[in-house]
């Protein structure tokens, strides 16, 4: 059986797949790869089945040792020192080191055959909020590689753009609690240049900026939220929910990020300027 050993993890490396959709009524968050497009591309490039487990690397720093010959594909944030968006062979005994990414935050490493860890509630995703699925990767850990594969797609290189390095514009639509904010608050949301906070993680991207004016005081009874919800906590600055977001939340959702821009959201890095447009 094929395997690889993790030598270093960088700030955070987790195993991810498509997550646990359909169980939100039980309080089980969806989780799964944050940048779904990059994750799916990595799997496709090595002929994996849809939903195969891959590694999500946050801000580079992963080093793996090939215990056997491995066919890999690396996508998402372009880390220095590794081939990108192309299938690549890593010979038994060789090392793969992901340097810091030139832009973006999350890089995906898919291995032909997929990572073979036990599924929890139908998914191999690490959910940091609820503690479901495998623990984040640690140095010294050996991962088995599965064997269920499609034929190789015969693609040498996928032509995809790198995540943006400068200001990112995200399209939004009004959320269910838009009316909890004044028109001035809504205008402020759509006119200011926010900065991604260092407090961001797989649960949510926190934005630093000028607090929004509320039209209504008081508390909201907790209600269901989905990926891309923009919650406004009492601080008045937005939190955009990512893959590990809780099933329900108690702060008003002023807007939602358009589904087409969720992958860009997952690649935002601390300090990056962001604008929201309607």
Note the residues at the interface with other proteins (CB under 8 A): 21-30, 120-121, 130-132, 173-177, 221-226, 228-229, 246-248, 253, 256-260
Identify which of residues 186 and 256 has a Cβ nearer to other proteins in the complex: 256
* Shorter beta-carbon distance to other proteins: residue 68 or 173: 173
Q: How far is the CB of 253 from other proteins (least distance, A)?
A: 7
What whole-number distance in Å separates Cα of residue 225 and Cα of residue 239?
Answer: 12
CB of 267 to other proteins, least distance (A): 19
- Closest to other proteins by CB, 106 vs 227, is 227
Minimum distance from residue 30 beta carbon to other proteins (Å): 8
147-to-1, 44, 86, 112 alpha-carbon distances in Å: 8, 15, 20, 8
Least separation, in Å, of the C-beta of 57 and other proteins?
25
Instruction: In whole angstroms, give the CA distance from residue 213 to residue 183.
Output: 9
* 160 closest CA partner among 42, 257, 62: 42
Query: How far is Cα 161 from Cα 151, in angstroms, rounded to an integer?
Result: 26
In whole angstroms, how close is the CB of 130 to other proteins at the nearest point? 5
Contact indicator for 17, 134 with CB cutoff of 8 Å: no
Q: Closer to other proteins by CB, 86 or 117: give it.
A: 117
39 in helix, strand or coil?
Answer: helix
Q: Would you say 42 or 257 has its CB closer to other proteins?
A: 257
CA 183, CA 174: separation in Å to the nearest integer?
12
In DSSP terms, which residues pair with 123 in a beta bridge?
A: 120
Q: Output 29 or 114, the one with its CB closest to other proteins.
A: 29
**Residue 42 C-beta-side C-alpha neighbours within 13 Å:** 35
Closest CB 132 distance from other proteins, rounded Å: 6
């Amino acid at each position: 059986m094929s395997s690889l050993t993790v030598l270093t993890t960088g700030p955070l490396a987790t195993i991810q797949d498509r997550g646990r959709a359909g169980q939100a009524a039980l309080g089980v968050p969806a989780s799964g790869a944050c940048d779904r497009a990059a994750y799916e591309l990595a799997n496709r490039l090595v002929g994996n089945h849809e939903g195969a487990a891959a590694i999500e690397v946050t801000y580079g720093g992963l080093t793996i040792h090939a215990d056997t010959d491995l066919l890999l594909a690396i996508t998402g944030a372009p880390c220095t020192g590794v081939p990108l968006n192309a299938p690549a062979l890593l010979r038994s005994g060789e090392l793969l080191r992901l340097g810091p990414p030139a832009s973006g935050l999350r890089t995906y490493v898919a291995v032909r055959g997929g990572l073979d860890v036990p599924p929890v509630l139908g998914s191999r995703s690490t959910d940091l909020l609820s503690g479901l699925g495998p623990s984040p990767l640690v140095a010294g850990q050996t991962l088995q590689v599965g064997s269920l594969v499609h034929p190789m797609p015969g693609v040498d290189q996928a032509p995809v753009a790198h995540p943006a390095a400068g200001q990112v514009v995200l399209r939004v639509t009004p959320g269910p609690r838009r009316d909890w904010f004044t028109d001035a608050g809504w205008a402020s949301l759509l006119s200011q240049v926010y900065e991604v906070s260092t407090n961001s993680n797989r649960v949510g991207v926190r934005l630093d900026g000028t607090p929004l004016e509320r039209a209504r005081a008081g508390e909201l009874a907790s209600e269901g939220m989905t990926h891309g919800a923009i919650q406004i906590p009492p601080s008045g600055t937005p939190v955009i929910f990512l893959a590990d977001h809780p099933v329900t939340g108690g702060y008003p959702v002023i807007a939602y990020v358009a589904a087409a821009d969720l992958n860009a959201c997952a690649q935002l890095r601390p300090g990056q300027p962001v604008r929201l447009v309607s």
